[in-house]
Amino acid sequence: MARQDAQSAAWAEPQVVQRFLSRADEPLTRYRALRRLEARNDRFKLQGWMEVWTELTANGRFSYTIVREGGSEYIRNKVLRALLANEEKLFATTDASRAALTTDNYELQGAEAAEPGFVRLLVKPKRREVSLVDGAAVVTEEDADLVRVEGRLAKNPSFWTKRVDVVRRYHRIGGVRVPTRLDTVAQVRLAGTSTLSMTFDYEMVNGVHVAAANTLAERP
């Protein structure tokens, strides 16, 4: 039975690839979301967190407002604030489509079965850019809908960072695919392993109010 399931999955993978490449999804062009960011470094026993309203306008302008924060001042200023400032700069200076999972940015190098009901598409960035990931895109076997991107950043964000492994998760809200969680593990010179997580709680997607932000805003 296991062999039959494996053969069925292998037969389905090329079809999944074609469905993925031919999808015409509505892009995420506007949103307002409350994010929670948390980062830690075990070697120096530092941990910090932040809750932030983030917004992308129709003209491509990204902005953020910190609601509250706690923990290590170093983590908050050097890691979390720096991450948000870099995202703001990227939207202001770079075409967002350069980070999209398209054939303009990636080479599709094959496919393999993932967990039941899903297929891993092996992707290779065409450029060394910090916004691209060398690894895999996990999609649903039935309709090739993207649920996860995982791998290593194609370019390290700084000299001090030797390697960054990332997992980006996606869901559909109001029919639009949106990022809902980011997890990274970075190997930093002198500092060792540092981890970061970021969750998204959407209030508006593409001009449609989808829900009031949940209890993230009420956390201590």
Residues of the chain with pLDDT under 50: 1-11, 215-220
Share of the chain above pLDDT 70, in %: 90
Structural domains of the chain in order of their starting residue, each with its CATH number: 2-207 (2.50.20)
Return the pLDDT at 217.
45
pLDDT at position 147 = 96
Strands 133-140 and 46-56: unpaired
Task: State residue 158's pLDDT score.
Answer: 84
Q: What is the pLDDT of residue 218?
A: 44
Rounded CA separation 109/179 (Å): 24
Q: Please tell me the predicted confidence (pLDDT) of residue 212.
A: 56
pTM of the model: 0.86
Q: Nearest-CA neighbor of 186 among 156, 209, 148?
A: 156
pLDDT in tens, 115-161: 999 999 999 999 999 899 999 999 999 899 999 999 999 998 888 88
List Cβ neighbours of 219 (8 Å cut-off, separation of 6 or more): 36, 51
